[in-house]
């Protein structure tokens, strides 16, 4: 697997169309999340204490939270305590496609890091890549969040992804095209270690547990979609996901019943889903509602339905009940 940022930015004619919500979704399935929030990156959602906890990075790069339960809707966006600020990656659009350049370069494209939320051991964890390129986390047991804490002293350049597996909280991040991992049993996180496989990616991974197997999904430097799995020991190696999909964004996956649902933004900015019940994946099918987005997706299971969230092309936050 060989996944280049230039290829991702310039990819076209893909089997999987590009994903982008229209300024106002034209289908009945997509609805704007109340509160008037705006973001330039993908949101993150998880379930904590029976409620949906939705997080975004605002225009000011601070992290905001909106909460919804079975008996109350989303309402207002409130800044997460602790004063955290999201970092960004500035990528030169000319010359070396993998060169990280300084802000202000007229040839550069800036990618703001999105948040990642995970419920673990009766606490809600929130991860973000900071302005110094280190990974930070904050957590709450149900009240206000506390202070942001750095996970070791290691630089990373894309979004992070957390997941609970074998009673431990794992965090995955990307640097130098390689994926690194660290974990915690509820206390301090251990040191970052590289996932020992030969695959490469320019984006952050998506981590999900299905049928007692830890799965990582990434967009390769060739724009194809790859999967790597572990049952608790070493990862088995990268294999292309069936269906021939292409993407330029971070993947999104959620387990629901006996099905692993994988969502991707196609190169036409449309939103697609593929499914596996434990064997090979099938074909990529467009999610209903005619949505478009310029960023990755996030999803959870709530009230016995998949709730898929996306940033619209007007930077509002939308939800689709699948």
For tokens 């904050």, the residue is: 138
- pLDDT > 70? residue 313: yes
- Extract the tokens encoding 207: 């981590």
Q: How high does pLDDT run on average in the chain?
A: 88
The three-state DSSP-derived secondary structure of the chain is: CCCCHHHHHHCCCCCCCCCEECCCCCCCCEEECCCCCECCCCCEEEEECCEEEEEEECCCCEEEEEEEECCECCCCCEECCCCCECCEEEEECCCCCCCECCCCCCCEEEEECCCEEEEECCEEEEEEECCCCCEEEEEECCCCCCCCEECCCCCCCCCCEEEEECCEEEEEEEECCEEEEEEECCCCCCCCEECCCCCCECCCCEEEEECCEEEEEEEECCCEEEEEEECCCCCCCCEECCCCCECCCCCEEEEECCEEEEEEECCCCEEEEEEECCCCCCCCEECCCCCECCCCEEEEEECCEEEEEEEECCCEEEEEEC
**Ramachandran area for residue 216 (φ above 0: left; ψ -120 to 50: alpha; else beta):** beta
Burial of residue 42, with CB atoms counted within 10 A of its CB: 0-12 exposed, 13-18 middle, 19 or more buried: buried
**For residues 168 and 214, is the Cβ–Cβ distance under 8 A?**
no
**Residue 293: pLDDT above 80?**
yes
Q: Is the pLDDT of residue 259 over 80?
A: yes
What is residue 91's predicted lDDT score, i.e. its pLDDT? 66
Q: Domain containing 78: what range?
A: 5-312
- The residue written with tokens 């149900």 in the block is 142
Task: Residue 71: give its domain's CATH number.
Answer: 2.120.10.70
Note the pLDDT of residue 8: 30
pLDDT band at 92 (very low <50, low <70, confident <90, very high): low
Q: What local confidence, expressed as pLDDT, does residue 6 receive? A: 30
Average pLDDT over residues 196-200: 84
Residue 209, in any domain of the structure: yes
- The per-residue pLDDT for 238 is 95
Say whether pLDDT at 90 is over 80. no
pLDDT greater than 80 at residue 10: no
The pLDDT score that the predictor gives to residue 97 is 36
Cα dihedral across residues 125, 36, 69, 250: positive or negative: negative
Specify the number of domains making up the chain: 1
Q: Which residue has the higher pLDDT, 12 or 60?
A: 60
From residue 270, alpha-carbon distances to 34, 174, 176, 288 in Å are 23, 25, 29, 10
Span 232-251, mean pLDDT?
95
Q: Put residue 83 in one of left, alpha, beta given phi > 0 → left and psi -120 to 50 → alpha.
A: left
Asked whether residue 25 carries a pLDDT value surpassing 80, the answer given is no
pLDDT tens string 101-139 = 333 444 567 889 999 999 999 999 999 999 999 999 999
- Residue 199: the pLDDT is 85
The whole-number pLDDT of residue 198 equals 82
Size of the chain, expressed as the number of residues it contains:
322
The answer to the question of residue 16 being in a domain is yes
Token code pair at residue 180 = 């690194």
Tell me if 181 is assigned to some domain: yes
23, pLDDT greater than 50 = no
Task: Answer yes or no: is 305 within a domain.
Answer: yes
Instruction: List Cβ neighbours of 291 (8 Å cut-off, separation of 6 or more).
Output: 19, 20, 21, 22, 25, 27, 29, 30, 270, 271, 310, 312, 318, 320
pTM score above 0.95: no
What percentage of residues in the chain have a pLDDT greater than 90?
80
Cross-sheet strand order for the sheet of 168-175: 161-165, 168-175, 178-184, 193-194
């Amino acid at each position: 697997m060989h996944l280049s940022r230039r290829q991702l930015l310039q990819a076209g004619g893909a089997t999987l169309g590009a994903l982008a919500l229209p300024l106002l979704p034209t289908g009945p399935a997509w609805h704007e999340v109340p509160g008037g929030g705006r973001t330039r990156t993908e949101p993150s959602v998880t379930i904590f204490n029976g409620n949906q906890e939705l997080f975004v990075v605002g225009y000011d790069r601070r992290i905001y939270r909106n909460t919804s339960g079975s008996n109350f809707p989303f309402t207002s966006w409130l800044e997460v305590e602790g004063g955290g600020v999201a970092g960004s990656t500035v990528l030169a659009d000319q010359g070396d496609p993998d060169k990280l350049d300084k802000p202000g370069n007229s040839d550069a494209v800036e990618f703001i890091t999105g948040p990642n939320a995970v419920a673990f051991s009766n606490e809600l964890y929130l991860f973000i890549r900071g302005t110094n390129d280190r990974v930070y986390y904050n957590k709450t047991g149900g009240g206000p969040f506390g202070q942001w804490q750095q996970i070791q002293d290691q630089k990373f350049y894309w979004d992070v992804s957390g997941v609970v597996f074998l009673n431990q909280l794992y965090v995955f991040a990307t640097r130098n095209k390689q994926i690194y991992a660290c974990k915690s049993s509820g206390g301090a996180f251990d040191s970052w270690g590289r996932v020992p496989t030969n695959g490469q990616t320019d984006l952050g991974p998506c981590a999900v547990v299905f049928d007692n197997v830890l799965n990582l999904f990434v967009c390769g430097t060739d724009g194809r979609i790859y999967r790597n799995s572990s049952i608790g020991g070493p990862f088995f190696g990268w294999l292309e996901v069936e269906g021939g999909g292409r993407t330029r964004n971070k993947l999104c996956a959620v387990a629901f019943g006996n099905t692993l649902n994988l969502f991707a933004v196609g190169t036409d900015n449309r939103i697609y889903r593929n499914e596996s019940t434990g064997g090979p994946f099938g074909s990529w099918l467009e999610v209903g509602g005619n949505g478009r987005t310029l960023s990755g997706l996030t999803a959870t299971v709530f009230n016995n339905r998949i709730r898929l969230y996306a940033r619209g092309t007007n930077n509002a936050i939308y939800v689709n009940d699948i």
